[in-house]
Structure 1
Amino acid sequence: MTDDASPRILRYAAFTTRPEGGNPAGVVLDAAGLTDERMLAIAAELGYSETAFLTAGATEGAYGVRYFSPLTEVPFCGHATVASAVALAARTGPGQYVFTTAAGEVPVQVDQDAEGVLRATLTSVEPQVEDVTGADVDEVLALLGWARTDLDPALPPRIAYAGARHLVLAAATRDRLARLDYDFDGLAAYTRARDLVTLQLVWREARDVFHVRNPFPVGGVVEDPATGAAAAAFGAYLREQGAAAAPTVLTLHQGEDLGRPGVLHVELRTADSRIRVSGAAVAIP
């Protein structure tokens, strides 16, 4: 493909079995020859939180993948990874893929269930969790319009990484999580200055069940409806905090407050520190 050619842009909703649910992603399965400027322009025109651009590697099932939001390139995107793997499997059948991303190699397994639904499981790069200063917490709370008393003391603020950096903030109540109205430009500057991709706002419903939201102003998006990269980072955070012990599978509900409900499954394994994130994806007509 030359840069002048019009690439075929697929549209998939990830972490859902319904086109109107989950998080929509653009997928270009053959991005060979596209310049950075062209990929950014395609992502901006499409308007989804991310569009994935794939280039076939030297071996079967191997692809280089880059991810662009409407404003910038991001190192890794979970929902666009799930969407891309399912788009590939819809053409060649379920199987194993290896995506080489800016964050590292990400294996993805796609399986088909008894009802014919394609589900992808990505394995993150090696995760990390780091402290965040009290001053940084106070600043971000002011941008969100939250108070310290709005936080769950059992889940302290931390920065978590599993391919992209996210600041984890746990709300004390579901109502606090539901009321999201923040300073868009201020939070964009805040996240950009700290090399964060999103905030991972969470509320714990039960031991292994969470509701989550992800402001993404640095990408030009008010809120990401279902965020696989942040889900992987959150799994690492919970394990590091002793709030979840392997082996376990966590269920994350996201997008309900946007009218695009999605479900993400996060698996922690005993013998592997990497995080697995699973979900279905479906083509958007």
Structure 2
Amino acid sequence: MSPDILRYAAFTDGSVGGNPAGVVLDAGGMVEAEMLAIAGAIGYSETAFAFPQEDGSLRLRFFSPLAEVAFCGHATIATAIAITESHGPGPLRFDSPAGLVEVATQRHDGELWATLTSPPASSRPATENELGETLDAFGWQRDVLDDRYPAHVGFAGNHHMIVGLRDRATLSDFDYDYDSLAASMSHHQWTTVHVFAARSGSEFDVRNAFPPGGVREDPATGAAAAAFGGYLRTIGSPVNLEVVLRQGQDMGSPSRLLVSIVPGSESVRVSGTARVISAGADDRVGGR
């Protein structure tokens, strides 16, 4: 019997945009090969598979078309919204390969919002070799970098290279040698390369390269957003901070992610909405 596959776009900007995710709410009994095949057939950057547990909780696994991913923010948001539409708002707890992920859902101004609390988020300065390989893949010189935001490798369930640019125009010209960056990311075990330009201290334009997922770019990346929150905390931004990330505009899929850094917690909260999409719609938004 074929599983019931739901399709949502998460981190939408109002009623448009967002990042497509597949959601299978009852994956009980499925094995890895089956999940990988379904993720490949759907073609989205990730599909979430939920395994109901005897205690009423859910275990989540995430698959790109190429491999399993330890944590995926936008697919977590999509799963939470799908559950909430059937059972109403409230707290949810997901057991993932990256650890426990708590999600709170609520209705605000007629929209369902989901807020995930990430695994512990942190970052460290990128090495000269890591930064050099990244710049070479994008064809950039060091003068494109924003000195206020040093390059780091962030973590919030997955590792992400984080690079700040001085000019939005450079971000608009985002392009890279796919094979070269994919090889570098595989070597360093990065999930995305998170490139951003600051609009202000609380609003950023971001783009994410995602070769490990088999796509050139992701239009909304919750896991990278959480890592970015940990990065801002590490480099000395205020600890009680909420920032807005604008992603996907350059792809024609505008997305909005709210990132909250909470005092006294190593985790980061990432909030967004989601909308149902039909089979065949919005497919392969981040295609290679």
Class of the TM-score when normalised by the shorter of the 2 chains: over 0.9
Give the partner amino acid of 1:42.
I
1:132 to 98, 107, 126: 126
Q: Is the 8 A contact 1:162 1:233 kept in 2?
A: yes
Paired position in structure 1 for 2:52? 56
Counterparts of 1:58-207 in structure 2, within 5 Å, are 58-60=54-56, 62-115=57-110, 117-207=111-201
DSSP 3-state at the match of 1:206: coil
TM-score, normalised relative to structure 1: 0.95
For structure 2, the 5+ residue unaligned runs are 279-288
CA distance in 1, matches of 2:15, 2:33: 29
Q: Is the 8 A contact 2:89 2:106 kept in 1?
A: yes
Give the partner amino acid of 1:199.
V
Give the partner amino acid of 1:98.
R
CA distance in 1, matches of 2:122, 2:54: 30
CA distance in 2, matches of 1:58, 1:234: 35
CA distance in 2, matches of 1:181, 1:125: 30
2:43 to 37, 44, 47: 47
1:27 to 4, 20, 23: 23
Per-residue CA distance 1:38-64 (angstroms, 9 max, x = gap): 11111111111100000112333x210
2:248 to 255, 263, 266: 255
Per-residue CA distance 1:164-212 (angstroms, 9 max, x = gap): 1100000110000111121111111111111100001011001100010
CA distance in 1, matches of 2:225, 2:137: 23
Paired position in structure 2 for 1:280? 273
DSSP 3-state at the match of 1:52: strand
CA distance in 1, matches of 2:178, 2:96: 28
Give the partner amino acid of 1:129.
S
Question: Are residue 264 (structure 1) and residue 281 (structure 2) matched?
Answer: no
Give the partner amino acid of 1:250.
V
DSSP 3-state at the match of 1:221: coil
Measured after TM superposition, the shift of residue 273 of structure 1 is 2.1
Q: Is the 8 A contact 1:14 1:82 kept in 2?
A: yes
Per-residue CA distance 1:101-157 (angstroms, 9 max, x = gap): 111000000101131x11100001112212221122111101011110111111011
Measured after TM superposition, the shift of residue 271 of structure 1 is 2.2
Give the partner amino acid of 1:198.
T
Per-residue CA distance 1:49-82 (angstroms, 9 max, x = gap): 100000112333x210000011111100000000
Identity within the alignment, %: 45
Paired position in structure 2 for 1:14? 10
DSSP 3-state at the match of 2:266: coil
Paired position in structure 1 for 2:286? none
CA distance in 1, matches of 2:64, 2:172: 24
DSSP 3-state at the match of 2:94: strand
Give the partner amino acid of 1:168.
I
Q: Is the 8 A contact 2:115 2:271 kept in 1?
A: yes
After TM superposition, the structure 1 stretch with the greater mean CA deviation from structure 2, 16-25 or 270-279, is 16-25
CA distance in 2, matches of 1:236, 1:250: 12
Q: Is the 8 A contact 1:32 1:55 kept in 2?
A: yes
Q: Is the 8 A contact 1:17 1:282 kept in 2?
A: no
Q: Is the 8 A contact 1:51 1:69 kept in 2?
A: yes
Question: Aligned residues, how many?
Answer: 278
Measured after TM superposition, the shift of residue 20 of structure 1 is 4.6
